[in-house]
């Protein structure tokens, strides 16, 4: 099994910590991405 790792910027971790301590929750924004079916065969190429 391969291990996976990732880093969280310290400024983001500090903001999350302060939010959790102050309100008990973290509110995050939404990206606004929607998934739709892909056309087969593709109608155009990139």
Q: What is the C-alpha to C-alpha distance for residues 30 and 6, in angstroms, rounded to an integer?
A: 21
Tell me, what's the pLDDT at 24?
A: 94
Q: What is the pLDDT of residues 6-44, one digit of tens each?
A: 888 999 899 999 999 999 999 887 777 888 887 777 666
Tell me, what's the pLDDT at 42?
A: 66
Spatial CB neighbours of 32, under 8 Å, sequence gap ≥ 6? none
Nearest to 15 by CA among 2, 27, 31: 27
């Amino acid at each position: 099994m391969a291990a996976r790792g990732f880093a969280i910027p310290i400024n983001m971790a500090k903001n999350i910590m302060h939010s959790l301590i102050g309100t008990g929750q973290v509110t995050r924004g939404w990206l606004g991405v929607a998934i739709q079916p892909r056309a087969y065969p593709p109608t155009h190429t990139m």
